[in-house]
Amino acid sequence: MSDDVRRPDAALVALDWGTTTFRAWLLDPEGRVLEQARTSDGTLRCSEGTDDARERAAAFERTFLRLVGPWLRQHPAAPVLCAGMAGSNHGWAEAGYLDVPADLGDLAGRLTTVATTGRAVHLVPGLRVTGPDPDVMRGEEVQLVGALDAPEPVTTVVLPGTHSKWVRLDGRRVTGFSTAMTGELYGLLMRDSILARLSDGGPGAASPDGRGSGAFVRGLEVEAARGDERGLPALLFTARTLVMAGDLRPDEVADYVSGLLVGAEVRHALRSAGPPGEALGGVAVCGSGSTAPRYRLALERAGVPVRTVDEDAAARGLWRVALDAGLVARTAPPILEDQP
């Protein structure tokens, strides 16, 4: 982000500030990405070491100005829109939630504004399920907006990640969602459990693309065939016994465990979606290039047609919210394309 390079005019500075990752896009007047940045300056790092709201806000402002200061100086008229955990109760400022069922178009009317040195930052609210099974999301709501900005209608969006989301939609209205801690559980197992001692490399170590890894598919198949009979905790231990028996290589452990976990998540999510054989409707998987293909494969093996939405759905969603909020002028629809 050198100050010495002249860039085209920008219309929006868009931020997705998550727990462990900071992502930013500089968007032109048609919503196209001029420049982007990704760092490990997540909200946990910003809030580390203080419970004082003022000190925390000051830390967020310092990090914000350090990371996007050059953009702000070169484009003094561009507004800033931010989604993610920066709007949580341990973030920059609490941005609240919209209660589900909620229309995604209503996000623009509930922005929270934070004043910084020379520029206001507008925080997007999250979504919340109330009642006997409460749930929350923050940051994924703009990915949903971006995922729906495509011609093909979807009724379910899967957002893989540390805490995967399964979101049910009726048009642009979120009717419900649920969260699975699959990514976090995988991380704990492969870092702190006995399986970590057996593993040689992470996902894809035995296969460059990871998607079609035989060990990952084996995990899917084992979970599908024996998940109800034995349960996931028992199946996870087979990663150890298969290695001891010489039936699983150490460089296949991570993929096999990933297959068990993703398989269990997908199978149970599909079961809760309706009676066996009932059409799920259009399904989109929106996530990183390393994770989304695994969910797509698991869904396809379960007979569910699915399309993949790229990670820049968050940028598209932030652009759409900015349009709805009047932060940017309506000149043309965003032109970023979904992946087929």
DSSP 313: H
Domain 182-309, what fold? Nucleotidyltransferase; domain 5 (3.30.420)
pLDDT at 282: 77
Alpha helices in 181-231 (DSSP H): 182-192, 194-198, 214-230
Please confirm whether the linkage preceding 101 is cis (ω < 30° from 0). yes
- Tabulate helix, strand, coil % of the chain (nearest 5): 40, 20, 40
- The answer to whether 294 and 262 have CB atoms below 8 angstroms apart is yes
pLDDT at 339: 43
Q: Please state whether beta strands 12-17 and 80-84 pair in parallel, antiparallel, or not at all (unpaired).
A: parallel
Q: Please state whether beta strands 135-137 and 33-39 pair in parallel, antiparallel, or not at all (unpaired).
A: unpaired
Alpha helices in the chain (DSSP H): 43-47, 53-74, 140-148, 182-192, 194-198, 214-230, 232-244, 253-273, 292-301, 313-325
The ranges assigned to domains in the chain are 1-132, 182-309
Q: 């050198």: which residue's tokens?
A: 2
Domain 1-132, what fold? Nucleotidyltransferase; domain 5 (3.30.420)
Task: Check for a shared fold between 1-132 and 182-309.
Answer: yes
The series of mean pLDDT values per 10 residues for the chain, 340 residues long, is: 60 95 96 95 86 90 95 95 95 97 98 90 98 95 90 88 93 96 95 93 56 84 96 97 96 96 96 64 84 94 90 93 95 50
Q: What is the rounded CA–CA span in Å between residue 144 and residue 172? A: 9
- pTM (2 d.p.): 0.87
Reference 169, options 333, 283, 262; nearest CA is 283
